[in-house]
Chains A and B, each alone.
Chain A
Amino acid sequence: AQTVTQSQPEMSVQEAETVTLSCTYDTSENNYYLFWYKQPPSRQMILVIRQEAYKQQNATENRFSVNFQKAAKSFSLKISDSQLGDTAMYFCAFLPMSTSYGKLTFGQGTILTVHP
């Protein structure tokens, strides 16, 4: 079984600054995917970024990037040039490659507030 831990229940950042959200996980799987989802106050979860465990290169999507440390089982999300629209709950999630049936394992979530 997999576990995902987000140790920061809440974070805040000033607009235009950079913030990093932490995520650690535990698994015996060797091949898997990791995701960051954003859940704005409207409650619809949106995929922000994904990482394949077999790739050493960290994924990047515009202002969002990850720091993936496979040996340490760490997967942090960095948001650069934070915007007010980034205010949301952020979930880290894990999916083993051994299943394609959508059994994502989520962390507890981190509430991010971007202040003007």
Chain B
Amino acid sequence: EPEVTQTPSHQVTQMGQEVILRCVPISNHLYFYWYRQILGQKVEFLVSFYNNEISEKSEIFDDQFSVERPDGSNFTLKIRSTKLEDSAMYFCASSEQGLGVNTEAFFGQGTRLTVV
């Protein structure tokens, strides 16, 4: 069964360093998303991406964050200068169409980012 794949599963980085989280969405999907979950808190929407541009972003998704689909298969989240509060589990998701009655978001297993 097709699935969303995220790498790495765990990344440790020093504060101020750039980090890139990678995701391979399901191949025929057109909509891509990043969510994050700080330990003990809610899963929060970061950004959605369609047709090679950001469709919507949350207030969390500031200038330190960027997303890219560098080729036909990968979808990346870059954090330019990591802060301690960026430590969280980051989930990538994809869907065939925009979310709604007949479309479901498929989530990856997540990348745990630890900023030290």
Query: B109 and A43: CB pair below 8 A?
Result: yes
Binds A, one of B16-24, B40-48, B80-88: B40-48
Question: Which of A52, A100, A108 lies at the interface centre, i.e. has the most chain B CB atoms within 10 A of its CB?
Answer: A100
CA–CA, A86 and B30, complex, Å: 31
Residue B110, interface by CB 8 Å? yes
A77 to chain B, nearest CB (A): 16
CA–CA, A96 and B35, complex, Å: 17
Chain A interface category by residue count: 20 to 34
What residue in chain B is nearest A42 (Cβ atoms)? B109
What residue in chain A is nearest B107 (Cβ atoms)? A45
CA–CA, A107 and B42, complex, Å: 6
Query: CB-CB contacts of B48-59 with A at 8 A, as 1s and 0s?
Result: 101000011010
SS of B interface (majority): strand
Query: B105 and A33: CB pair below 8 A?
Result: no
B20 to chain A, nearest CB (A): 20
Number of interface residues of B (CB under 8 A): 29
Given contacts A45-B91, A103-B45, A108-B41, contact A95 B108 (CB under 8 A): no
Query: CB-CB contacts of A17-40 with B at 8 A, as 1s and 0s?
Result: 000000000000000010001000
Task: Report A44-94 residues with CB < 8 Å from chain B CB.
Answer: 44-47, 50, 52, 91
Cβ contact of A100, chosen from B3, B100, B107, cutoff 8 A: B100
Residues of A near B41 (CB, < 8 A) are 108
CA–CA, A88 and B20, complex, Å: 29
A residues apposed to B, CB below 8 Å:
4, 33, 37, 42-47, 50, 52, 91, 95, 97, 99-109
